């Protein structure tokens, strides 16, 4: 049996992985994010790689120093990162309420794209590693928002830990006009694509890894 580690503290990613029947541990990456890219899809892939690689290195270092605690199983670490892009502007999480209002004003009445990068890092019982990275894009169009609507929404606190300053699975669902693509990608993790990628890599199949809840464990950080 393998172990899955999610390299993210995001409650939304945790819920999505649980929704498809995975059993996993959570070990959030804690390092400072370093962005060298400027294109949204490259940014999210770069950040997801940083997170998964950091956690995988932590696991490998720990096990090398605690051989008596090592388990004879493969480990899959999952890292993910999400950003919103409107025109040429990349929006992460807001710094404060004023920043959240700025982002929502920018998105009001317009189409934007949500990008999530996902990285798998595989560690076998001998410490050998491999990696795979991909991204998913979803287009979302917001209804026009008045200033009072934005103020009231920001006052709920919901936008403060979310890319683009809104949670489509929360109260901001009332602001969405239409969506093209994977809804779960906007929430924070494209679990349908994630499963297909693992299946293509020969890591997991539904009747072996998901329904029986005994195949892998995952690592993730937002």
From the candidates 81, 88, 96, 99, give the one annotated as an active-site residue: 81
Residues 1-36 have pLDDT tens digits of 478 899 999 999 999 999 988 888 999 998 878 888
Range(s) of the domain holding residue 32: 3-220
> CATH no. for residue 197?
3.90.950.10
- The pLDDT mean for the chain works out to 86
Say if strands 75-86 and 3-7 run parallel, antiparallel, or are unpaired: parallel
CA distance 4 to 12: 17
Total number of domains in the chain? 1
Active site residue 81: yes
pLDDT of residue 37: 86
Please, where are the H alpha helices in the chain? 11-19, 40-65, 97-107, 147-155, 183-187, 191-200
Q: Residue 219's beta-bridge partner residues? A: 6
């Amino acid at each position: 049996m393998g172990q899955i580690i999610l390299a993210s503290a995001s409650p939304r990613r945790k819920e999505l992985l649980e929704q498809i029947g995975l059993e996993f541990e959570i070990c959030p990456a804690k390092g400072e994010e370093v962005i060298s890219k400027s294109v949204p899809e490259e940014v999210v892939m770069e950040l997801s790689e940083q997170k998964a690689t950091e956690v995988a290195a932590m696991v490998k270092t720990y096990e090398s120093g605690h051989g008596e605690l090592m388990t004879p199983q493969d480990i899959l670490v999952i890292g993910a990162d999400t950003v919103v892009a409107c025109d040429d502007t990349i929006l992460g999480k807001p710094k404060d309420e004023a920043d959240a209002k700025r982002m929502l004003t920018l998105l009001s009445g317009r189409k934007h794209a949500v990008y999530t990068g996902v990285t798998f890092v595989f560690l076998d019982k001998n410490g050998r590693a491999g990696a795979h990275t991909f991204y998913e894009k979803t287009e979302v169009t917001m209804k026009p928002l008045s200033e009072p609507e934005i103020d009231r929404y920001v006052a709920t606190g919901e936008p403060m830990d979310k890319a683009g300053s809104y949670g489509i699975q929360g109260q901001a669902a009332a602001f969405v006009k239409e969506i093209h693509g994977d809804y779960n990608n906007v929430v924070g993790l494209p679990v349908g694509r994630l499963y297909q990628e693992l299946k293509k890599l020969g890591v997991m199949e539904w009747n072996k890894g998901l329904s029986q809840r005994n195949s892998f464990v995952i690592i993730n950080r937002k």
